[in-house]
Amino acid sequence: MRSNKHITLYHLLIDNKKYIGLKFPADKILTSLVRDLKDINWNDEFSMYCVPNNKYNIDAIFNQFRGIAWINTNYFFD
């Protein structure tokens, strides 16, 4: 059975540094898993969690949510 949980990734620029924004509907499980990511921070300006944009963090996001949530990359990858 496919999960109805999803997270959408966005490109963010904060203080001239590239970040990955994670936006998702309010969900205790997703919030807990997002908070477990290394270097994760809440950004008030964009109202979403964000991590530095690098290969390690992209891989970590996909690994953390494999089998739990769909990662929507429509706004992230061409």
Q: What are the tens digits of pLDDT across the range 54-77?
A: 999 999 999 999 999 999 999 999
What is the layout of strands, in order, in the sheet containing 41-43?
41-43, 48-52, 17-23, 6-14, 70-72
In the DSSP assignment, the letter for residue 30 is: H
- Burial of residue 47 (number of CB atoms within 10 Å: 0-12, 13-18, 19+): exposed
For 5-56, write each residue's pLDDT tens digit: 999 999 999 999 999 999 999 999 999 999 999 999 999 999 999 999 999 9
Question: How far is residue 56's CA from residue 68's CA, in Å, rounded to a whole number?
Answer: 20
Q: Which domains are delineated in the chain?
A: 6-72 (3.40.1170)
Question: How far is residue 28's CA from residue 24's CA, in Å, rounded to a whole number?
Answer: 11
How much is the pTM?
A: 0.92
